[in-house]
Amino acid sequence: MQTLKKAFLFTLLFAVCWACTTTKTETEEVGTMDQLAERYVKTLLRLGQYDSDVVDAYYGPEVWKPTGEPIDSLPADEFLAEFKAIQAQLQAQDTTTLAADEMRRLAMFKKQILAAITKVEMMQGKNYSFDEEAKLLYDAEPPHYALSHFDSILTAIDKQLPGKGTIAARWDAYRARFEIPKAKLDTVFKAAIAEARNRTKAHYKLPANENFTLEFVTDKAWSGYNYYKGKGYSLIQINTDFPIYIERAIDLAAHEGYPGHHVFNVLLEQNLVDKKGWKEYSIYPLFSPQSLIAEGSANYGIDVAFPAQERIKFEREVLFPLAGLNAAEADRYYTILDMIGQLDFAGNEAARLYLNGEITREQATDMLVKYNLYAPDKALQRTRFMDKYRSYVINYNLGQQLVRNYIERNGGTDNNPGKRWELFGELLSNPNTASMLK
In angstroms, give the least distance from the CB of 254 to Zn ion: 11
Helix (H, G, I), strand (E, B) or coil at 283: strand
Return the number of the residue (295 or 349) whose C-beta is nearest Zn ion. Answer: 295
Binding mask 274-313 for Zn ion (x = CB under 5 A): ---------------------x--x---------------
CB of 267 to Zn ion, least distance (A): 16
Distance CA(415)–CA(37), nearest Å, equals: 41
Question: What are the Cα distances from residue 169, in Å, to 29, 32, 264, 340, 362?
Answer: 64, 58, 37, 14, 18
* Least Cβ distance, residue 171 to Zn ion (angstroms): 24
DSSP states of 42-78 as a string?
HHHHHHTTT-TTSEEEE-S-GGGS--SPPPSS--HHH
Q: Return the number of the residue (1 or 206) whose C-beta is nearest Zn ion.
A: 1
Least Cβ distance, residue 354 to Zn ion (angstroms): 21
In terms of CB distance, is 161 or 298 closer to Zn ion?
Answer: 298
Residue among 64 and 385 whose Cβ is closer to Zn ion: 385
* Contact partners, residue 127, CB within 8 Å, separation at least 6: none
Number of residues that bind Zn ion (CB under 5 A): 3
- Give least dist CB 398 to Zn ion, A: 14
The residue among 78 and 344 lying less far from Zn ion, judged by its C-beta, is 344
Its sign, for the CA torsion 192, 317, 400, 220, is negative
Rounded to the nearest whole angstrom, what is the least distance from the CB of residue 225 to Zn ion in the complex? Answer: 7
Residues paired with 228 in a beta bridge: 234
Cβ of 207: how many Cβ atoms within 10 Å?
A: 14
Report the nearest approach of Zn ion to the CB of residue 128 (Å).
Answer: 23
Cβ atoms < 10 Å from Cβ of 35: 15
Q: Pairing between strand 211-217 and 224-230?
A: unpaired
Nearer to Zn ion, 399 or 425 (CB): 399
Cα separation, 152 vs 229, whole angstroms: 44
Q: Which is nearer to Zn ion, 1 or 45 (CB)?
A: 1
Q: How far is CA 412 from CA 71, 191, 259, in A?
A: 50, 27, 16
| Phi then psi dihedrals of residue 118, to 5 deg | -60, -40
Identify the burial level of 148 via C-beta atoms within 10 angstroms of its C-beta, where 0-12 means exposed, 13-18 middle and 19 or more buried.
exposed
Give whichever of 36 and 214 is closer to Zn ion, judged by the CB atom: 214
Asked whether 411 and 419 are in contact (CB, 8 A), the reply is yes
For Zn ion, the closer of residues 142 and 301 by Cβ is: 301
Q: Taking the complex as a whole, how short is the minimal distance between the CB of residue 142 and Zn ion, in angstroms?
A: 18
Residue number, 297 or 372, with CB nearest to Zn ion:
297
Beta strand ranges found along 153-312 (DSSP E): 211-217, 224-230, 233-239, 283-285
The interface with Zn ion within residues 123-162 (CB under 5 A) comprises none
CA separation for the pair 227, 220 (Å, rounded): 14
Window 1-60: residues binding Zn ion (CB under 5 A) = 1
Q: How far is the CB of 382 from Zn ion (least distance, A)?
A: 15
Neighbours of 438 (CB within 10 A): 10
Q: Using CA atoms, how far apart are residues 321 and 80, in angstroms rounded to an integer? A: 55
To the nearest whole angstrom, how small is the minimum distance from the Cβ of residue 42 to Zn ion?
A: 26
Which residues contact Zn ion (rule: CB under 5 A)? Answer: 1, 295, 298
